[in-house]
Amino acid sequence: MSFTQIWGNFQLKDSWRQPPYPNQPSDVGYYLHYKANIHTNGGDILADIRVYQPVQERALPEGAMAFVFGKFYMSDRTRMQIEAIHIFHYHRSISAIMLGCFQPRVVISGYIFQETEELANGTKLIFVNGMGFVGEHYNVLAVVGAMVANKRWPVQPPTPKLYSPVQMTGFIDGIDSCNDLPIIAVEDITLEIGNKLVAEKINQARIELALIKYRLPVSQRPFHTDVEYDYTWAYAASRASLASVPSYDTSYPLPFPLQASPGFIYPIIKDIVHPCIRDMSFLKRSRSRLMVNVGRDTTSAIHPIVIEESPKAAAHSLGL
């Protein structure tokens, strides 16, 4: 569970080991730290990359190039902590020249906590709160997202609603000199993530597409909304770094520094129940039409279900 992710190319510098817990045997594993720099238009950010490794695995050599995928937060304006999920080492022929080809990207899911500001040149600034699981804590991260008005936006940069959840992808452009918050150059943004109306339309389109793909007589055509699966498949296990996997015993993680606040009262909920997706009108029509066709299929004649939408229309049925 994390709302702040980072991925990209890094040049790993000096490294050091750290035991997970005091007096823990070293044969279990250890935290391996690397130093790296993130180049932005406002200067460099010093990154501390941490990964949990078995004892038999060695640290990568000084100056090694690697692709890092992990979670992050900013401990101050020039320092970043990265909890690596995976570190992929490039071949030694890859040099630091590639660092200038592609800046690391960040993906942040959070909530708009302040009204959107629009500058004179059309640039819109959004203020987002998120949190990431780094260093055994859910650390809070506030960022400023900048959407510059240009041809990358079909009409103009959107204006997210106050307190609404969003997800944005971009790169770190620099650090704001007034509030010391990271400035994210937004390249992609999804508004109101988790909107139930969107979930209902997605589910309806999935069922319509499944029905369109059937090529069987109606008597042999199953009607169900659940997805069948191959239970004989040998599913691959996760190979993520152990330090990047939090405990999922609660759906409401307590972000730092509230964990150290004795006067903070956290809401206690016994069990969260998510209401099921509504039975869309299309499903009701299809069920009734299916029963009529099954009744007609007594003389082995094929009476297929008539789908009211074409495949092209179904593919576009997600519009709100």
pLDDT in tens, 99-147: 878 899 999 999 999 999 999 999 999 999 999 899 888 899 999 999 9
Where among 142, 168, 191 does a domain terminate?
191
What is the chain's alpha carbon radius of gyration, rounded to the nearest angstrom? 25
More confident residue, 188 or 291: 188
Q: 187 lies in a domain?
A: yes
Nearby residues of 313 by Cβ (< 8 Å), 6 or more positions away: none
The verdict on 52 and 180 lying in the same domain is yes
| Whether the predicted pLDDT of 311 surpasses 50 | no
Residues 12 and 96 grouped into a single domain: yes
Assigned domain for 149 exists: yes
The pTM of this model reads 0.78
Beta carbons of 7 and 67 less than 8 angstroms apart: yes
Residue 231, in any domain of the structure = yes
* Helix (H) or strand (E) run with residue 281 in it: helix 281-296
Q: Is the pLDDT of residue 6 over 90?
A: yes
The answer to whether residue 263 is domain-embedded is no
| 12 & 57 share domain | yes
Flag whether 259 is in a domain.
no
- Give pLDDT, residue 238: 92
pLDDT bin (cut points 50, 70, 90) of residue 79 is: very high
Give yes or no: residues 216 and 177 share one domain.
Answer: no
118 shares its domain with 236: no
| Same domain? 207 vs 150 | no
Q: Which domain holds residue 64?
A: 4-191
Structure tokens that stand for 176 in this block: 């704001």
Q: Is the same domain home to 140 and 223?
A: no
Residue 124: CATH number of its domain: 2.40.50.140
Assess whether pLDDT exceeds 80 at residue 28: no
The domain total for the chain is 2
Orientation of helix 196-213 relative to helix 281-296, angle to 10°: 20
Residue 260 lies in a domain: no
Residues 138 and 164 in one domain: yes
Same domain, 180 and 245: no
Whether residue 207 sits in one domain with residue 300: yes
pLDDT confidence of residue 194 = 83
Mean pLDDT for the stretch of residues 10-23:
85
Structural tokens at position 54: 């078995």
Is residue 218 included in any domain, yes or no?
A: yes
Q: What is the mean pLDDT of the chain?
A: 80
Same domain, 274 and 164: no
- Whether residues 209 and 124 share a domain: the answer is no
- DSSP E strands: which ranges in 227-318? 255-256
Average pLDDT over residues 7-24: 86
Domain finish residue from 150, 174, 191:
191
Q: Is residue 284 part of a domain?
A: yes
